[in-house]
């Protein structure tokens, strides 16, 4: 009887692993197809062979400039920013055991955005300064939210409420900066705040790419301790997890990559919020969904950008499309959590 129970458990684990591998592979394939579509589609649709030749360095009239200067930076910005938003959102939601506890809702993205807008409108600084300032602002926002939400015991609900309040204050600050800013700076800032891949340049991407390559493996490597943190503080400690050190590493890594993504593309709405739940629904439970969540983020951003470019008479920034997708889900989630008594 004991042997049968062990076999049943192992069989279930193998099935969950196969499902995780299949879903992750399909998400990766879909991401590759969307990347190809980003390079092929535009005001002019180029043959695949011409796109490949242009990427290889061959000079083809019209194609080389469009692919290498406009479409490739746009695709790479969406790829790395989408992965950053997806994996960071999943990390926060899992670590704090609440689907509302993502960087968009609790104000971390707003902290980075407010400083970035200040640098754009008031200081007129370079992209490098904006990137560094965004990371610092994101970390400072996390510290502020934690300090203000402290009590006798740690409460995720209190942290979320404080984060929402901080976000409202920072959004008000952004509105004020837009009111007092110079008229010529407002259109570009508004496009950035909407979350947009328009005007992406290769020179702006290295900080984001390097940050994702450094910190995404850390978040993926901490997938098992992160899953244990989801069980609760005491359970994780009893299983040998150094909860404080693990939480610090997770928060620092997540804030760094999401702040750089925000500085590069603007705060693309709801990608961090949607990626984790979608990945969990598709890949199931039992294994870390950090990679599937990152890939869901990539697919959301790239697909939304293609929809925004070609599905309507006018072109819309990617953040408008993801906002239309995410807002109904947020309302649904709030209603369901209220019915369960989780709010």
pLDDT the model gives residue 254: 92
**Residue 2 confidence (pLDDT):** 55
Q: What angle is formed at CA 284 by the lines to CA 280 and CA 288, rounded to 5 degrees?
A: 70
Domain membership of residue 74 (yes or no) is no
User: In the structure encoding, which two tokens stand for residue 10, read together?
Assistant: 């192992």
Tell me whether residue 300 is in a domain.
Answer: yes
Contacts of 290 (CB under 8 A, 6+ apart): 87, 90, 91, 219, 220, 223, 226
What pLDDT, on the 0 to 100 scale, is given for residue 327?
A: 80
Q: What is the pLDDT of residue 39?
A: 95
Q: How many domains does the chain have?
A: 1
| Full DSSP string of 195-222 | ---TT--GGGSHHHHHHHHHHHHHHHHT
Within-domain flag for 38: no
**pLDDT given at position 308:** 92
Q: Which of 64, 93, 97, 157 is nearest to 297 (CA)?
A: 93
pLDDT (0 to 100) of residue 4: 59
Domain assignment of residue 48, yes or no: no
Our CA angle for 59, 64, 65, nearest 5°, is 125
Containing domain of residue 145, as a range? 81-340
pLDDT at 215: 96
Asked if residue 237 is part of any domain, the answer here is yes
162 lies in a domain? yes
| CATH number of the domain within which 101 lies | 1.10.3470.10
Structure tokens at 110: 């707003």
pLDDT tens profile 49-77: 999 999 998 898 889 999 999 999 999 99
* Residue 21, in any domain of the structure: no
Taking the chain (343 residues) in consecutive chunks of 10 residues, what is each chunk's mean pLDDT? Answer: 60 85 96 96 90 91 91 96 95 86 81 89 83 87 85 72 89 91 83 85 92 95 88 79 86 90 89 91 88 96 94 88 85 74 57
Establish if 63 belongs to a structural domain.
no
């Amino acid at each position: 009887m004991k042997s049968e129970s062990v076999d049943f458990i192992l069989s279930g684990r193998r099935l969950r692993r196969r499902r995780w591998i299949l879903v992750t592979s399909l998400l990766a394939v879909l991401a590759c197809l969307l990347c190809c579509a980003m390079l092929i589609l535009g005001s002019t649709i180029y043959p695949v062979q011409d796109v490949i030749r242009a990427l290889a360095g061959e000079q083809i009239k019209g194609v080389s400039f469009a692919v290498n200067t406009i479409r490739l930076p746009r695709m790479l910005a969406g790829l790395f920013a989408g992965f950053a938003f997806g994996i960071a959102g999943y990390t926060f939601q899992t670590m704090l055991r609440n689907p509302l506890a993502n960087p968009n809702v609790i104000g971390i993205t707003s902290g980075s955005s407010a400083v970035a807008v200040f640098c754009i409108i008031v200081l007129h600084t370079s992209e490098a300064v904006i990137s560094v300032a965004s990371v610092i602002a994101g970390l400072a926002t996390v510290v502020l939210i934690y300090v203000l939400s402290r009590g006798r015991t740690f409460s995720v609900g209190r942290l979320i409420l404080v984060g929402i309040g901080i976000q409202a204050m920072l959004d008000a600050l952004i509105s004020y900066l837009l009111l007092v800013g110079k008229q010529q700076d407002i259109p570009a800032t508004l496009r950035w705040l909407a979350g947009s891949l328009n005007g992406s340049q290769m020179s702006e991407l290295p900080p984001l790419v390097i940050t994702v390559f450094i910190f995404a493996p850390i978040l993926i490597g901490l997938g098992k301790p992160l899953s244990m943190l989801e069980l609760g503080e005491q359970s994780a400690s009893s299983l040998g997890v150094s909860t404080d050190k693990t939480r610090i590493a997770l928060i620092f890594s997540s804030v760094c990559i999401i702040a750089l993504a925000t500085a590069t593309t603007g705060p693309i709405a709801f990608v961090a919020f949607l990626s984790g739940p979608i990945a969990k629904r598709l890949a199931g439970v039992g294994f870390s969904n950090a990679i599937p969540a990152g890939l869901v983020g990539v697919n959301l951003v790239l697909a939304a950008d293609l929809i925004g470019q070609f599905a309507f008479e006018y072109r819309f920034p990617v953040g408008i499309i993801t906002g239309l997708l995410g807002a109904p889900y947020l309302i649904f989630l709030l209603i369901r959590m209220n019915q369960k008594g989780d709010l």
